[in-house]
Amino acid sequence: MRFKRREAALAKAIDIRQTDSGADLAAHSNNRPNKAAYKGLYQFAKPHRKTFLAMFGCIIVAIAADLLQPYLVKVAIDDHLMAGDRSAKTLFIIAGIYLLLSVLGFVFSYLQNNLMQLAGQSIVASIRKKLFRHITRQSMSYFDRVPSGSLITHVSSDTESLNQFFTSVLLSVLRDGLTLLFIIALMFQLDVQMTLYCLVLLPIIALNAFAFRSYMRRTYQMARTNLSRLVAFVAENLAGMRIIQVFHQEREQQTQFDEKNQLYFRSNMREIRTNVLFNRSFEMLGNLSVAFVTWLGGNAVLGESIPFGVLFAFITYIRQFFQPINNISQQWNTLQSATVSLNRIWNIFDTVPEVQDAEKVRNVDVSAVKGKIDFDGVKFGYNDGIPVIHKLDLHVQPGEMIGIVGTTGAGKSSLISLLCRFYEVQEGHVRIDGTDVRELPQETLHRLIGLVQQEPYLYSGSIIDNVRLFDETITREQVIEACKLVGADTLIGRMKDGYDTRLSERGSGLSAGERQLISFARIIVFKPKILILDEATANLDSHSEQLIQEALNVVSKGRTTLVIAHRLSTIMGADRIIVMRNGAIIEEGNHRELLRRGGYYEELYKHSQGSNPQLAAGAVGGRASKKSCGVG
Ligand SMILES: Nc1ncnc2c1ncn2[C@@H]1O[C@H](COP(=O)(O)OP(=O)(O)OP(=O)(O)O)[C@@H](O)[C@H]1O
């Protein structure tokens, strides 16, 4: 059941990712640039204005150094060679200056590229940082709506596209734009009439670029769309490999993959062909112009209206003229995808978390909190509006242990989510020690609550770091003490590096029970006043369950504890057990009282006792909360 749900969620994520990034560009490319997004981007760029200024200076020097070289040759030809000045010294000086200009061009181009990369990467790093912080502050309802796959794309490839905006588009517009202007100015300086003739070429170039532009954009988008479809297909297959193999779907999947692969290959080839054609057409235009200038200028030289050196410089400049135009028009696709990425990123920045601290929060002394919990007339439903908790009342005394059982979808995890204020109640109040959770700063609230889930999250890092969650104020000794208390010390002692053993992501390499013990140790070191176990024993064998039960007895001491149980054995010893169905409490009492009552709890108990354990598990258990608050 759980496996199926995860698969469905994954398929949904892939599906959305496809629309988000696949049919993606085509769909988003019509997005008009969002003014607020550009303003926001400018705010990120502002602190780097000195770097931009320095880069601009480098661009000017680099361009000047490059463009003065043909001019220098013209001086050598016209003012010296043709003028009869045969002095080797002058030629030597000119050659020296030429060399110096080449070195200058090289050095300043290098600096200009590095400065642009520095500015671009720094801006993108700070956007990424803010984006991650903004995402982590979103409410749970946001994560219900937005698949994690697309958030990963936003943080990784969308920010990278923005980097391309600076390092490719902006750099090209500045450098190539200025180069063009300088070339035109130099050409005018050499010969006004010939320059005017050459400028006749501009409309032809513009027409060529315009004719190619929309076709190039389409081929680019088609290739990106087909690539993301291919990637989504592979991701879907990897995730559902079990089903594919069990149902012998390998050949069918291979056929589908081949089709998608072919489509991508063809669209990619079309894109490459168009790009090559565009580049070569520019080259051809360049060659035609050289022929035109040679003919025009040659006649002028023969007629002695311009010197030979001017013709030489002109031919060199006209050759250089096409490169910047070509470069700038190549930036169109990059600009398109950067705009889409910019809009996507700023859509996230514009999302205000639904759950926020109140304007006037009530600051409480965490150490003085007793842990009394009250649900008063609580009504709640998710975005779809269907109520999942109906006018629920529940009052828990400090230090009391409450077991929560019920049918699948009864609202057990939702109740816990409301206590953690992952979602807002629609009616009623959730209070801790008499204070509405909406009045508490979220940070304080989450320090009051420790959550142990069915699959505790472990990070890549040492066991010490995983217990203290990288909080250096918690000492190694405190961590070891906590692990001893929950009975994790022996198993850690058996590991190669003991407490310094590095766990891989999600703690693979440890059994489910061992991971749970580590998350119990977290509770001890962080000392929350309220402890929540959300189906923490669901995945455990009976030996591990026994270990966890013992650890639970230790960590729940002196804490208000709510235990959502998959197995009744976990909650049989609770002070009080509540039985939920359809978002309401239908039975309440301790184990004996509930058995005596002979209601739904007794029915569950009978199932769990034996005749049909699977039915018992299915009826009582279900899904673990996906969220976490506090520690655990
Ligand atoms: N994030 C969500 N968005 C929309 N509906 C949700 C969400 N989470 C839960 N629900 C719905 O709310 C109802 C209560 O779910 P909840 O997870 O609280 O039940 P539960 O008693 O913990 O179930 P289980 O034992 O299966 O974990 C169910 O109908 C469920 O489909």
Packed helices 201-239 and 2-17: angle between N→C axes, nearest 10 degrees: 180
Ligand 1 mean position, distance from CA 141 (Å): 13
Nearest CA owner, ligand 1 atom 28: 409
Q: Give the Cβ contact number of residue 35 at 10 Å.
A: 8
Which pLDDT band, with edges at 50, 70 and 90, does 284 fall under? confident
Nearest CA owner, ligand 1 atom 27: 623
Helices marked H in 240-356 = 241-246, 250-302, 308-349
pLDDT at 203 over 90: no
Nearest CA owner, ligand 1 atom 17: 413
CB–CB of 176/184 below 8 Å? no
Q: Measured from the CA of 417, which atom of ligand 1 is nearest?
A: 18
201 vs 443, which has greater pLDDT? Answer: 443
Nearest CA owner, ligand 1 atom 7: 382
Of the candidates 171, 198, 173, which has an alpha carbon nearest to the alpha carbon of residue 184? Answer: 198
d(CA 407, CA 255): 43
Ligand 1 mean position, distance from CA 582 (Å): 10
Residue 551: both structure tokens together: 């650890």
What pLDDT does residue 273 have?
Answer: 92
Residue 147 has what DSSP assignment? -
Nearest CA owner, ligand 1 atom 6: 382
Ligand 1 mean position, distance from CA 414 (Å): 6
d(CA 549, CA 367): 26
pLDDT at 331 over 90: no
Q: Measured from the CA of 621, which atom of ligand 1 is nearest?
A: 25
For residues 138-153, average pLDDT: 80
DSSP 351-415: PPPSS---SS-----GGG----EEEEEEEEE-TT--EEEEEEEEEE-TT-EEEEEESTTSSHHHH
425 vs 622, which has greater pLDDT? Answer: 425
pLDDT at 624 over 60: no
Ligand 1 mean position, distance from CA 581 (Å): 12
Nearest CA owner, ligand 1 atom 23: 409
Of the candidates 617, 574, 564, which has an alpha carbon nearest to the alpha carbon of residue 453? Answer: 564
d(CA 566, CA 623): 9
What pLDDT does residue 9 have?
Answer: 39
Ligand 1 mean position, distance from CA 393 (Å): 19
Which pLDDT band, with edges at 50, 70 and 90, does 289 fall under? confident
Nearest CA owner, ligand 1 atom 25: 622
Which residues make Cβ contacts (< 8 Å) with residue 146, sequence separation at least 6?
A: none
pLDDT digits (tens, 9 = 90+) for 450-484: 888 877 778 888 889 888 888 888 899 989 988 88
Beta strands in 422-468 (DSSP E): 427-432, 435-436, 449-453, 461-462
Ligand 1 mean position, distance from CA 387 (Å): 11
Q: Measured from the CA of 416, which atom of ligand 1 is nearest?
A: 18
Beta strands in 567-621 (DSSP E): 576-581, 584-589
What pLDDT does residue 505 have?
Answer: 63
Of all residues in the chain, what percent carry a pLDDT higher than 90?
Answer: 34
Place of tokens 């709506």: 145
Ligand 1 mean position, distance from CA 142 (Å): 16
Ligand 1 mean position, distance from CA 375 (Å): 18
Max Cα–Cα distance, the chain, nearest Å: 122
Per-state percent for the chain, helix, strand, coil, to nearest 5: 65, 10, 20
CB–CB of 554/527 below 8 Å? no
CB–CB of 518/551 below 8 Å? no
Packed helices 476-486 and 512-526: angle between N→C axes, nearest 10 degrees: 120
pLDDT at 227 over 80: yes
For ligand 1, residues with CB inside 6 Å are 144, 382, 388, 406, 408-414, 621-623
What homologous superfamily is domain 2-349 in, according to CATH? ABC transporter type 1, transmembrane domain (1.20.1560.10)
For residues 488-498, average pLDDT: 85
CB–CB of 316/70 below 8 Å? yes
Ligand 1 mean position, distance from CA 388 (Å): 8
CB–CB of 193/349 below 8 Å? no
191 in helix, strand or coil? Answer: coil
pLDDT digits (tens, 9 = 90+) for 351-403: 999 888 888 888 888 889 999 999 999 999 987 678 899 999 999 999 999 99
pLDDT digits (tens, 9 = 90+) for 11-47: 333 333 333 333 333 333 344 557 788 888 999 999 9
444 in helix, strand or coil? Answer: helix
H-helix or E-strand containing 193? Answer: helix 192-199
For residues 243-268, average pLDDT: 90
Ligand 1, residues 145, 384, 412: which to mutate, most atoms within 8 A of Cβ? 412
Ligand 1 mean position, distance from CA 233 (Å): 29
Which residues make Cβ contacts (< 8 Å) with residue 52, sequence separation at least 6?
A: 45, 115, 119
508 in helix, strand or coil? Answer: coil
CB–CB of 517/549 below 8 Å? no
- For the chain, the domains span 2-349, 371-620
Nearest CA owner, ligand 1 atom 29: 409
Q: How many residues in total does the chain contain?
A: 632
Ligand 1, residues 380, 413, 537: which to mutate, most atoms within 8 A of Cβ? 413
Residue 56: both structure tokens together: 């601009």
What pLDDT does residue 506 have?
Answer: 63
pLDDT at 321 over 90: no
Of the candidates 440, 384, 441, which has an alpha carbon nearest to the alpha carbon of residue 414? Answer: 384
For residues 148-156, average pLDDT: 77
Ligand 1 mean position, distance from CA 412 (Å): 8
Backbone Cα Rg of the chain: 35
What pLDDT does residue 82 have?
Answer: 78
Q: Measured from the CA of 406, which atom of ligand 1 is nearest?
A: 21
pLDDT at 318 over 60: yes
What pLDDT does residue 577 have?
Answer: 95
What pLDDT does residue 548 have?
Answer: 77
Ligand 1 mean position, distance from CA 31 (Å): 36
Ligand 1 mean position, distance from CA 430 (Å): 19
For residues 491-500, average pLDDT: 85
Which pLDDT band, with edges at 50, 70 and 90, does 1 fall under? very low
Which residues make Cβ contacts (< 8 Å) with residue 396, sequence separation at least 6?
A: 372, 373, 374, 402, 560, 562
Q: Measured from the CA of 384, which atom of ligand 1 is nearest?
A: 4
What pLDDT does residue 20 have?
Answer: 39
- Of 66-70, 105-109, 190-194, the least confident: 190-194
For residues 275-279, average pLDDT: 86
- Of 242-251, 495-504, 622-631, the least confident: 622-631
pLDDT at 5 over 60: no
Mean of the per-residue pLDDT values for the chain?
A: 83
Ligand 1, residues 141, 380, 388, 563: which to mutate, most atoms within 8 A of Cβ? 388
What pLDDT does residue 26 have?
Answer: 36
d(CA 397, CA 474): 29
Which residues make Cβ contacts (< 8 Å) with residue 343, sequence separation at least 6?
A: 28, 31, 33, 34, 37
Per-residue CA distances from 248 to 217, 241, 242 (Å): 40, 10, 10
CATH no. of 371-620? 3.40.50.300
